[in-house]
Amino acid sequence: MFAGACGGDSALEDELIGAWYGEGPDGDQCFVFCGGGRVFTGDRPCDDSDASDFSSSLPASFGDDTVTLTLEDRDPVTLTDVTVSGDTFTYNFFGGPFTVSRTTSPDYCSTRP
């Protein structure tokens, strides 16, 4: 592991830093990767800043092609087969493939805990 260009702990984390939006297991899915192992996520558009599930960040750990999110009071959730190609982020979750695209980031990283 090495310190990445954006302050992440892995190359994959650095590639993902920013906001991503698209299809997910429950419909719309937003991920906002802030670096330093902080992620906001929810099954709604990224610009829904009043969403309660974006009120605090989730701890995340990064492998070569996995992202594990630690959800409060639940078992960790792992996204597998994670790839980033340009502005497209694909992942598998419970055996299903999903694709999200890089989008304009709301100011979550500096304004949320």
CATH number at residue 79: 2.40.128
On whether residue 111 sits in a domain, the answer given is no
On whether residue 99 sits in a domain, the answer given is yes
For the segment 71-80, the average pLDDT, to the nearest whole number, is 88
pLDDT in tens, 49-68: 778 878 889 999 999 999 99
Range of the domain at 82: 11-104
In the prediction, which pLDDT does 8 show?
61
String of b and e for 22-51 (b: at least 16 CB within 10 Å)? Answer: bebeeeebbbbbbbebbbbbbebebeeeee
On whether residue 2 sits in a domain, the answer given is no
pLDDT in tens, 29-42: 999 999 999 999 98
Q: Is the pLDDT of residue 7 over 70?
A: no
On whether residue 109 sits in a domain, the answer given is no
On whether residue 77 sits in a domain, the answer given is yes
Q: How many domains does the chain have?
A: 1
On whether residue 15 sits in a domain, the answer given is yes
Supply the DSSP symbol for 75. -
